[in-house]
Amino acid sequence: MNYTVKIGKNEYQIKVHHNRVVVDGEPVSSRLIRLNNNGLYLLRHDDRDVEVHIQEKEAGGVEVVIAGQRVVAHVDTPQRRERRKKEGPQAGTVVAPMPGLVVSVNVKEGEDVQQGQVLAVLESMKMQMQMRAPIEGRVTRVPTRNGAQVEKGALLVQIE
């Protein structure tokens, strides 16, 4: 079975067949030993063991913690890759980059805004953040209000 593991901008082509593992064309002797049912594994190489914690995330994402570092990767099989469509973020969409409290909304629907203008202020964990207009345009939607608690990814302002 062929797996494409994407970590940041790097891609690893890994072939796993029975006990044989080939990484980018190079055979390695590694296997995974389950230590418990909560995601703790031993990655066993020829001469070395490494403790790893592995957890599945949504949409093919996998989180690995290894030696104090956390790696979030996407794993793909050729079939899965074909199915997936790419969709870029819309230019005038301003979403909450973190869950938090909407401290102020500075624009109304129909208002014209300049690029870089502060549209709203969001607060999360002792920190305030100004949400600025990514483009110049007209505000078409403001589905939030002062004092609202928003989730990460919630639409704050739509500019067209």
Residues lying near another protein in the complex (CB under 8 A): 1, 3, 5, 7-8, 10, 12, 14, 16, 21, 23, 28, 30-32, 38-41, 43, 50-56, 62-73, 75, 77, 97-101, 103-104, 121, 123-129, 152
Q: Which residues contact residue 134 at a Cβ distance below 8 angstroms, ignoring those fewer than 6 apart?
A: 91, 92, 93, 94, 115, 159
Between 3 and 137, CB nearer to another protein: 3
Between 113 and 150, CB nearer to another protein: 150
Between 65 and 155, CB nearer to another protein: 65
Q: How far is the CB of 46 from another protein (least distance, A)?
A: 13
Between 90 and 146, CB nearer to another protein: 146
Tell me whether strands 118-124 and 20-23 are parallel, antiparallel or unpaired. unpaired
Q: Which residues pair with 116 in a beta bridge?
A: none
> Please, are residues 95 and 153 in contact by the beta-carbon 8 Å criterion?
yes
Between 80 and 138, CB nearer to another protein: 80
CA 65/CA 54 separation, integer angstroms: 7
Q: How far is the CB of 52 from another protein (least distance, A)?
A: 5
Write the CA distances from 94 to 86, 129, 155, 160, integer angstroms.
Answer: 20, 13, 6, 11
Q: How far is the CB of 145 from another protein (least distance, A)?
A: 16
Q: How far is the CB of 101 from another protein (least distance, A)?
A: 8
**How far is C-alpha 127 from the chain's CA centre?**
21
